[in-house]
Amino acid sequence: MSDLNGKTAIITGASRGIGAEIAKRFAAAGANVVVNYSGSQQKAEAVVEAIEENGGKAIAVKANVADADTVKAMVDETISHFGTVDILVNNAGITRDNLMMRMKDDEWDDVINTNLKGVFICTKAVTRQMMKQRSGRIVNIASIVGVMGNAGQANYVASKAGVIGLTKTTARELASRGITANAVAPGFITTEMTDGLNEEIQQSMMSQIPLGRFGKPEEVAKAALFLASDEASYMTGQTLHLDGGMVM
Amino acid sequence: MATVLERVTKVIVDRLGVEENEVKLEASFTGDLGADSLDVVELVMELEDEFDMEISDEDAEGMSTVGDAVSYIEKKQA
């Protein structure tokens, strides 16, 4: 079982879905967890309560990942509360689906800002601390559609493909300082976000999944835990596909 | 009280693992002291901590030698 005892992890977008699951699992593995949220304060506090009931340590911190100032404040708060930042999970993400012909500039910009620029901002913000420590783990939650493309999600796909490229560059730039960066590319995972996808997309995805079912948030969280732990010590710049075999 | 040069020299010796007598004012970080670009970023971070000041990215880009760093810090402290 992967062990994160004494480590401090910031999980962005951790008030629900995959992020909430990662936060709970990391706390159960012994990590101090920062449950980041941007809007859903009550849900974030519920995640913190669930962790504390389980004997874990967590705080909820509000920050918009696309806003460097609030992210810096979150990292400062993390360090003043827990003393360090060992792990960053860039999980915060949104969708604004539309066919490209109909996609508004706003829909494009919002998704790129949160999903891609947000990863850049958060990674940059923790790098100083991790470089000093000569160790760190960055786990980016990408998406399998960033590898295969998906009609109706030009903005989301571009952001997730961007995250995969950013992961590789982060890995190369920081490897000499003991910091690894890897990505997880989930396929169709049952969350509020995927419930919001239209029936057509859901059905076309199911037909492409060899394992014949959608994934669960905890299946993504387990992979993120592996990548954040010492067990993944010789792995960097990689993207793990957790997609029931959709892309091989 | 150690001079700015002495304190800068100590940071450089610790960070880059060079000998103290190699750290001359005209020595360039990347050319003479064997730093790579990431070492320079780290060096600037440590100088910020040592002298309790913020060095902007633009200013940091203008520092290529030990002398550049020392005069920048002395000017900012004045």
Domains and CATH numbers, chain B: 2-75 (1.10.1200.10)
Report whether pLDDT(A194) > 80: no
Closest by Cα among A216, A221, A218 to A190:
A216
Give CA separation, B72 vs A128, B43, B45, in Å: 22, 14, 14
- Greater model confidence, A236 or A206: A236
- Stated as kind and residue range, the H or E segment containing A35 is strand A32-37
pLDDT digits (tens, 9 = 90+) for A23-56: 999 999 999 999 999 999 999 999 999 999 999 9
Query: What are the tens digits of pLDDT across the range A87-119?
Result: 999 999 999 999 999 999 999 999 999 999 999
* Contact present, A179 and A137 (Cβ < 8 Å): yes
How confident is the model at residue A196, as a pLDDT? 76
Which chain A residues touch B if contact means CB-CB below 8 Å? 128, 131-132, 173-174, 176-177
* CB contact (8 A) between residue B45 and residue A128: yes
From chain A, pick out residues whose CB is under 8 angstroms from the CB of B42: 131
Q: A124, A128, A129, A174: which to substitute to probe chain B, counting the most B Cβ within 10 Å? A: A128
Chain A residue numbers with beta carbons less than 8 Å from the beta carbon of B38 are: 173-174, 176-177
ipTM: 0.82
Low-confidence ranges of chain B (pLDDT < 50): none
B39 is catalytic: no
pLDDT score at A100? 96
Q: Tell me which of B36, B42, B54 to substitute to probe the interface with A (most A C-beta atoms closer than 10 Å).
A: B42
What local confidence, expressed as pLDDT, does residue A109 receive? 98
Query: Residue A1: pLDDT above 70?
Result: no
* DSSP, residue by residue, A183-217: EEEE-SB-SHHHHTS-HHHHHHHHTT-TT-S-B-H
Closest residue on chain A to B15 (Cα): A132
Q: What share of chain A in percent tops pLDDT 70? A: 100
**Closest CA in chain B for residue A133:** B42
Tell me the whole-structure pTM to 2 decimals.
Answer: 0.92
